[in-house]
């Protein structure tokens, strides 16, 4: 069984078939997510918070990302595995190349994800030029939470919206193969999705994107503390983990998730 490819994801965007993405951190959940029909398994540095109990994603290391990515890769056969480049592992293009090589060679990832706009365009170009598939990440950037002043919606002001749109176009031009948009207004997410040829995956970005991603532990309702407003507890409604995962995939495919309450104006 061959894994879902970049070509397949591009076809899904072109055909209007929504892409279902969830985070995964271990082999057992990777297997369950794949069986439920999840297209992309994102080994997120969110593991720092939901697995390790850290206050942010910042303490996560490349070694830890390699460890979790390799576990997810071993537990799956069909879904694409995307691994986050953690904080300060891509401060320059050469460091990014070294970190990405580890995530792909040792961690079994098919794509790496990095946060940032214009400041990482050269890095994206360097990775793409060396054959590394790249998922960009705009909007709320968890690795920059201290710079941003907290976990807040991005792009509400006209100037900020135009900057994010410009960054998205620049990242695509540099060679990015996919884009995650986090916590941006629905209208902005729709504009960016329409403007780009690459798939756009939303989280707290409304229903107009090409696909959706949630943190696994959030959508199962097991993350300690307050759940993000853009998430939804699928386990509470469906009674078992397997049923909850299948319900999430179906809701994304059918356009029933996210609803208006899961987005921002």
Sequence-distant (6+) residues with CB within 8 A of 131 are none
| Of 68, 42, 66, 45, the residue nearest 56 (C-alpha) | 45
Alpha-carbon distance of 99 to 102, in angstroms, equals 5
Alpha-carbon distance of 58 to 265, in angstroms, equals 29
| Of 196, 152, 146, the residue nearest 174 (C-alpha) | 196
Torsion from C-alpha of 54, 20, 138, 123, nearest 10 degrees: 90
Strand, coil or helix: 22: strand
Alpha-carbon distance of 79 to 133, in angstroms, equals 15
The tokens of 262 are what?
A: 């899961």
Asked if residue 179 lies in contact with residue 138, where contact means CB atoms within 8 angstroms, the answer is yes
Ramachandran region, residue 213 (left: φ > 0; alpha: ψ -120 to 50; beta: rest)? beta
Provide φ and ψ at 82, rounded to 5°. -115, 130
Alpha-carbon distance of 102 to 13, in angstroms, equals 29
119 is catalytic: no
14, 34, 64, 182: the catalytic one is 182
Torsion from C-alpha of 118, 119, 124, 129, nearest 10 degrees: 100
Q: How many residues comprise the chain?
A: 265
Q: What residues are annotated to the active site?
A: 182
């Amino acid at each position: 069984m061959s894994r879902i490819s970049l070509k397949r994801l591009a076809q899904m965007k072109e055909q209007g078939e929504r892409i279902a993405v969830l985070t995964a951190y271990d082999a057992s959940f990777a297997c369950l997510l794949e069986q439920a029909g999840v297209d992309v398994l994102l080994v997120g540095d969110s593991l720092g918070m939901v697995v390790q109990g850290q206050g942010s994603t910042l303490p996560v290391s490349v070694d830890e990302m390699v460890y979790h990515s390799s576990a997810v890769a071993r537990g799956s056969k069909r879904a694409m595995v995307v691994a986050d480049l953690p904080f300060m592992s891509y401060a320059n293009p050469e460091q990014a190349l070294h970190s990405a090589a580890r995530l792909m060679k040792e961690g079994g990832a098919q794509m790496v994800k990095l946060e940032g706009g214009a400041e990482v365009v050269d890095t994206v170009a360097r990775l793409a030029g060396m054959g590394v598939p790249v998922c960009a990440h705009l909007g709320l950037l968890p690795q920059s939470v201290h710079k941003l002043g907290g976990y807040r919606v991005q792009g509400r002001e006209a100037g900020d919206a135009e900057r994010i749109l410009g960054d998205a176009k620049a990242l695509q031009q540099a060679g990015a193969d996919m884009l995650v948009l986090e916590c941006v207004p629905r209208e902005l997410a729709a504009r960016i999705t329409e403007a780009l040829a690459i798939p756009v995956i939303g989280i707290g970005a409304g229903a107009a994107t090409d696909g959706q991603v949630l943190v696994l532990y959030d959508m199962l309702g097991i993350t300690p503390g307050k759940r993000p407003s853009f998430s939804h507890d699928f386990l509470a409604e469906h009674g078992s983990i397997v049923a909850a995962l299948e319900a999430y995939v179906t809701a994304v495919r059918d356009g029933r998730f996210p609803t208006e309450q899961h987005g921002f104006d």
